[in-house]
Amino acid sequence: MAQLLRLQSKLPSNALSGIRRFTGGASSNLPPRPESDHAPPPLTQLSEEEKAFQDTVKKFSHDVVKPLVREMDRESKMDQRVIEGCFKNGFMGIEVPTKYGGPGSTFFNTVLVVEELAKVDPGVSVFCDVQNTLIGPLIIELGTEEQKKKYLPHVCKDWLGSFCLSEAGSGSDAFALKTVAKKDGDDFVISGSKLWITNAGQASFFLVMANAEPEKGYRGITCFLVDRDAPGVSVGKTEDKLGIRSSSTCPVHFDQVRVHKSAILGEYGKGYKYAIECLNAGRIGIGGQMIGLAQGCFDNSIPYIQERKQFNTRIIDFQGVQHQVSAIATEIEAARLLVYNAARLKENNLPFIKQAAMAKWYASVVATNTTSKCVEWLGGVGFTKEFPVEKFYRDCKIGTIYEGTSNIQLSTIAKLIDADCVTGICPTGTVFGSYSNRLKCLAFVNPGKLYLTADGFCNDEYNGHLVSVENGFVNMFITQNADTSFVNETSRRFWIGANNITGSGWKNTDSSNATYQHWAPGEPKNLTGSNGCVSVDLKGLWYNDDCFTNYPYVCGLSE
């Protein structure tokens, strides 16, 4: 019989002991409340290790990077001394375990590196960001022992990796990939082109997202490790960009590139999932880049308006300017809190997707506001290349575009809010005792990741099955693994809802034609047309439902 996952929680008897209590007035005779030994530290308070690491990055930024910023921007090329220094100082492969030659440090230190470097040159910061939020973590989490031994020691010392997802026809629609990986015996032959690939100019290897089974849509996307010197790999001309010009951005072409099946990173067909997960973390890194950029621009502007006078008055003494300065300083601090909070959540294995999207979106907004105001404060000189604020102004624009546009971040936030509040009582992922009683929540399940389908959530989180399709993703194909113990007499895979809106009708999971009237024994005829769904409850009873009703979905576990 199918079982429900029940989460039981009990409030400890001393749970309220650390809660702050406020008195009604300043004249209270109550003794001061003793500080709790367990009070969480402020988000911006760094540990001794973090502070030392931050100081190292700051010194490198000012001693090595700063003198080269203008030249690297002009030449659209990163100086080799900067590249070597980032590796030598431990800014690359920050989370790589010590057994593979890495520092075994933390994700939060990655954010500190990105933030500090961005105060001087945001292009150098993204150089480190990609290595630490996308490349290293994916190999650490998904790599075989052989892959880890081959790549991780070099990720820390001398090999740069590039993440190859974007294509000419797949930007915000990240999984509309045309790059394919055709199976040929024990090999795969990769063909296609990638665009806007960060660090491609210096990369030693690539993480390539290619579709091994295009007929399955995004479920065919697989991640491959491809060395730069593999026959058929070529890197195109560096893009002549508006900003972050020291960071190389190039197209990468794969012309019949043959790799062994051992080059697959993670599981076959799970590339879409890995891309979503790592890009969620990457958004925190970009948030760090944007707050560093904003702070660097702000810090370069304040001394000028303290010294510059108009009408025999310092510019900073004009009330209108003071108000703007105060507002910008507050925005930067607020953005930093969002970024640091998201980083701490991720580091502690807590749900962070919504917070990451908020941090990335707001930090990019703040960077845009800050750089614009700084140019205005400096007046004519702010419009020249003699002052760094002009470069910060150009650099910040990319923050609203890459690793998810601002609108994508807002859509993600809205979907997660909707998921948390969809019934008013029971959020998405709630497990119900029966189909008909949606308001009695037996357990709340808050997924820590963003899933394309409810089925993916059920399978990944519980190794179970989707029991009832009750979510609003009507344009996704939602499948169910039919379990004989509670669905029907024949164990097979079939669609349970979500009509194929492309017009080709209902399909079984093997892509064969199906009819909504006869999917499985016992289920009803669906009379609601192209937008209709059917669902099954824990007792194996079928129901006729409306796909556009934003009910949560139900996960069941079989014995």
Active-site annotation, residues: 403
Integer CA distances (angstroms), 233 to 193, 251, 388, 448, in order:
10, 11, 37, 36
Q: Is 293 exposed, middle or buried (0-12, 13-18, 19+ CB in 10 A)?
A: buried
* CB proximity list for 487: less than 8 A, separation 6 or greater: 480, 520, 536, 540
Question: Comparing C-alpha atoms, which of 297, 295, 340, 280 is closest to residue 112?
Answer: 340
Amino acid in position 480: Q
Report the C-alpha gap between 86 and 15 in whole angstroms. Answer: 45
Strands 161-164 and 205-211: parallel
Tokens of 332: 């930067």
Are the CB atoms for 180 and 270 separated by under 8 Å? no
Question: How many other CB atoms are there within 10 angstroms of residue 412's CB atom?
Answer: 21
What's the chain's length in residues? 559
What are φ and ψ of residue 299, in 5° steps?
-65, -30
Residue 349 falls in which region: left (phi positive, over 0), alpha (psi -120 to 50) or beta: left
Report the C-alpha gap between 3 and 342 in whole angstroms. Answer: 34
Strands 479-481 and 493-495: antiparallel
Residue 25 is classified by DSSP as S
Amino acid in position 542: W
What are the DSSP calls for 302-329, one per residue? HHHHHH-EETTEEGGGSHHHHHHHHHHH
